[in-house]
């Protein structure tokens, strides 16, 4: 799917609440096909919310993260989310996970790539911002 987005002239990025050094390390270790950006201070998350594009849900660090030496989320950690924008800033697709009982505390129910790609193409035709999926 990343290849199709790039063939259409698009870019794909991953954003994590980990520091950028760990994001870069994971990108290399896992041989990622997209660049990963670390946002431990939630600047990107806050900007997306301020623009009214998407409010990415995050869990605050209530002290439980310090129990694991491999976690580095000073301001909490993001739940999964997807936002797709056209060059015109039109929102082509947006989805966010809010953990609750019905989605196994956020572990289930993620949109599939083909599904989101089809909705993005439909949004381009309609020229309207996509509603939150």
* Alpha-carbon gap, residue 24 to 40, rounded angstroms: 13
What pLDDT, on the 0 to 100 scale, is given for residue 37?
93
- pLDDT per residue over 77-111, tens digit each? 888 999 999 989 999 999 999 888 777 777 777 88
Residues 35-77: tens digit of each pLDDT = 999 998 999 999 999 999 999 999 876 555 556 555 566 788 8
What average pLDDT does range 104-127 have in this prediction? 86
d(CA 111, CA 2) in angstroms, rounded, equals: 15
* Cβ contacts of 42 within 8 Å, gap of 6 or more: 17, 58, 75, 76
Annotate 2-24 with b (16+ C-beta within 10 A) or e (fewer): eeebeeeeeeeeebbbbbeebbb
Distance between CA 97 and CA 72 in Å, rounded? 21
């Amino acid at each position: 799917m990343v290849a199709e987005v790039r063939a259409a002239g698009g870019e794909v990025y991953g954003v994590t609440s980990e520091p950028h050094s760990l994001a870069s390390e994971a990108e290399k270790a896992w041989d990622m096909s997209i660049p990963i950006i670390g946002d431990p201070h939630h600047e990107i998350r806050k900007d997306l919310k301020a623009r009214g594009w998407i409010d990415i849900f995050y869990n605050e660090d209530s002290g439980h993260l310090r129990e694991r030496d491999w976690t580095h989320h000073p301001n909490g950690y993001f739940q999964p989310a997807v936002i797709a924008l056209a060059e015109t800033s039109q929102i082509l697709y947006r989805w966010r996970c809010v953990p609750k009982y019905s989605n196994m505390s956020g572990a289930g129910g993620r949109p599939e790539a083909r599904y989101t790609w089809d909705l993005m193409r439909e949004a381009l035709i309609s020229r309207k911002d996509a509603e939150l999926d």
